[in-house]
Structure formats: structure tokens, C-alpha cells
Structure 1
Amino acid sequence: MRYEYDSVGQLSHCRLPDGCTLDYRHLSGGRLSSIDLNGSRLTSHQFSAGREQQRQQGLLLSQYQYDEQGRLQAHSVSQRDKHLFQRRYNYDANGNLAGINDSRKGNRSYHYDPLDRLISVRGATPESFAHDPAGNLLGQNDLPTANLANVKGNRLLMQGDRHYDYDAYGNLIRERRGSGQKLVTEYRYDCQHRLIGVSLPGGSTASYKYDAFGRRIEKTVDGHTTEFLWQGERLIAESAENRYRSYIYELGSFRPLAML
């Protein structure tokens, strides 16, 4: 990775590990105006009062509206003046998301208990939830509600036919399910409680490696290895035997912008 900055310290150029280049253009005031990939326009952006109002990605145009508290109120996506979908959001007095009006999926409303825990969703696919006094989820939809004996130390011990075992540090080490609980998935951890291995009932195995900062840098699933490259805390690329992917983020955030 190589970076270049403009006279006021803003990122202006970046060379990715695969040789691709990104050029960032900013408006006066520092707002991002556009990003070019290898000399071709990747995205363009319009801001107002510090909030993104419009984003163009190829033929897709995304537009955003906000309420007086800065919360997203509407989001629409169009292509060549043809509306693909639109969503509108509303909130309750406590700031919880109360409803979504989706042009493709219809309306959904969300309902909460006095502690602001989600207890039901109404719409095309209704959902319901039950919690214990500590906020642990005990039941969902028509599944049997767990009793408090199945949640010890805020760790779930059983859900349906699934039984969970933990080590002395609270890490999940085993999941047993199926007839006679014969389908067993096992998890292994290193001395820093990072997951380093998984074995599945069918015989598949996975292993994981980390760098000195705790970032996962490699996984191997049934002999096939994928390597991960990082920029600080952001994953910027992954490389496998026949695949290479780069990830681009919105400036100064962890929100993904594009996958190359």
C-alpha cells in the first residue's frame, strides 16, 4: 500500500496491493467529491450540511434524506431515471427505529418494551421476541421459549435441539445437535481466546491465524487457504488460490464503499 496526500493532509492517491490505483478528489471544506479507479470514475458524492445527499456509482444513483435530528429518513436507488427501490424510515420518541416503508418488501413496524428491547415486528413476515431480565433472548417467533435454567452466566446452554458447552473463560467450545446430540461441532482457541480451529460433523475443518494486533490474517478450510491484508483495523484485501478481492471504504470510516 502506498499513499499520497494533498497540501492540507487529505488522502489524494492510493496504490492497492494488486497494483490498482485510487484517486480521491475533495471540495473546498474537505468533503469527498469523487473517487477514480485506474483513471475511471468509481463514485461521485454530493454533501449538504455535512451529510451525504447523493452518490453516483456507475449507472446507480443513490439519494438520501434526513430528519431534523440527522437520522436517515429516506433512501432511494435509481438507474437512468428508473426507480429501483425506495425506503422510508420513522422513529419512536426514544429514537428506536419504528417502521420501514420499502417499495419492494412492503411495510414493517417495530415494537419495543419499556427497556427499548425489540419484542415484535409486524409486516409480511411477523416476528416476536422474548427476553429475560438481563436482556438475553429467550424465545423467537414460534420456537419454544427457553427457561431461565438454560441461560446461566448470560451464556446460552440450549436452543431447540442445540446444546452448547463452554470453557472456563466463557468461550464456546462445543455445539451438540441432532438425534442423540451426535452431530458435534468443536471450537478451539489460543491463549488469547482467539478462535484458531473448528471441526464440523461432516469432517470438514478450518484453522485461523492472527497477527500481533489480533487481526485474522489467514484461514484454511479443508486445505484451501485465504490470506487477509489489513490497513489498520480495516480489511483491504483477501487472496485465495484463484481469487483476489480488494475492499474500498468511505473515507475515515469502516463503511464499505466497493469490492473490486
Structure 2
Amino acid sequence: MYTYDAGSNITTCKTYAYTEADTVTGTAKTTETYTYGNSAWKDQLTEYRGQKIRYDAMGNPISYRGMTMEWEQGRKLKKITGNGVTQSHSYDADGIRIRKVVNGVTTQFYTNGTSILAQKSSDGTRLDFLYDDQGKLFAMEYEGERYF
């Protein structure tokens, strides 16, 4: 169950046990708290699960849970480091992400204009994106299975 502040931001999420009749029972099993502590940017999440989130002047997150994020050209995520993770991103001239590298595994994104047609990783995984005749995404295909 969710509670909200006056700005319609989620402030808590409580999880309850259910009976066989799908009714809520007892007290909450878990409670997650969301904090919005920036008075100038009222919907900017500044703390989640007791962990502070820090932002740059543009509103991009720059640190959370021991991880550091670097940004370029405004809102393009360039790099994430921390907690044993090293992740980098590359973009084409139109600002579309064309490659990411996570702990040495490279994922290449194949595009047509601003549409991503497929992504293929150096570990052998591939994900295809399927579009209708109007250019709207209608399905994804992964390991021979189609997901709508």
C-alpha cells in the first residue's frame, strides 16, 4: 500500500501478507520510505531505503548506495563506478546510446534513426525490438521467445 505527499509523490510503500481470500492481514511486513528533501525541486527523490541520493545542478543523480555516476552533454550517462561495478556508455551523433560496457561485457545497440532495433552483448545474449508499420514498438524477442 502506498501513501503520498501533497505533491503526489510516494512517501511510503508497505507490503502486507495476504490470506487465501486475497485480503490484507495484520501489520506491514516491510515498509519502504521515500524522501524528497529538495525544496526547490519538490519531486526529486533525495533518500530511498535510508540511502542518500545526490544530484548535480541539472538534476542527474551523481551518487547513490556507494556508486558514482558521471554525465556528459547534459543528461547522457557516461560512467557508473562503485560496489565492484564499472559501466560506461557511448552515444552516436544524435545522442542515441550505441554501446555500454559493464564489467568488461560489451553491449552494442543497433539503431535505425532514433529506434533501437536490437542489442547484442559480447556474452552472446541478443534482444530484438519489433515495431509495427507506424514505427511503434509492439514486442521484444529474446532467446527465440516473443514478449508483448
Structure 1 residue corresponding to 2:94, chosen from 185, 197, 213: 213
Per-residue deviation, 1:145: 4.7
Structure 2 residue corresponding to 1:247, chosen from 101, 108, 129: 129
Displaced runs of 4+ in structure 1, greater than 2 A?
144-148, 239-247, 253-258
Which residue in the other structure is 2:113 paired with?
A: 232
- Which protein is bigger by CA-based radius of gyration? 1
Query: Equivalent residue of 1:156, what SS?
Result: coil
CA contact (8 A) 2:69 2:81 kept: yes
Mapping 1:1-260, distance limit 5 Å: 128-141=1-14, 142=28, 143=31, 145-146=33-34, 150=37, 152=39, 153=41, 154-176=43-65, 184-201=66-83, 203-241=84-122, 242-259=124-141
Return the letter of the residue paired with 1:222: N
CA contact (8 A) 1:130 1:145 kept: no
Superposed CA RMSD: 2.2
Which residue in the other structure is 1:91 paired with?
A: none
CA contact (8 A) 2:71 2:78 kept: yes
Distance across 1 between alignment mates of 2:34 and 2:118: 41
Cα deviation code 1:173-231 (max 9, x no counterpart):
0013xxxxxxx011110022211111131x22000011111111000111221110112
Q: Where in structure 2 are there 5+ consecutive unaligned residues? A: 15-27
Cα deviation code 1:100-127 (max 9, x no counterpart):
xxxxxxxxxxxxxxxxxxxxxxxxxxxx
Q: Where in structure 1 are there 5+ consecutive unaligned residues? A: 1-127, 177-183
Cα deviation code 1:224-248 (max 9, x no counterpart):
2111011223211222223444332
Identity of aligned residues (%): 24
TM-score, structure 2 as length reference? 0.72
TM-score, structure 1 as length reference? 0.43
The range that moved more, 227-236 or 240-249, is 240-249
Higher relative contact order (CA 8 A, sep 6+): 2
1:216–1:147 distance in 2 versus 1, CA, 3 Å: closer
1:239–1:155 distance in 2 versus 1, CA, 3 Å: same
Distance across 1 between alignment mates of 2:32 and 2:105: 39
CA contact (8 A) 2:91 2:99 kept: yes
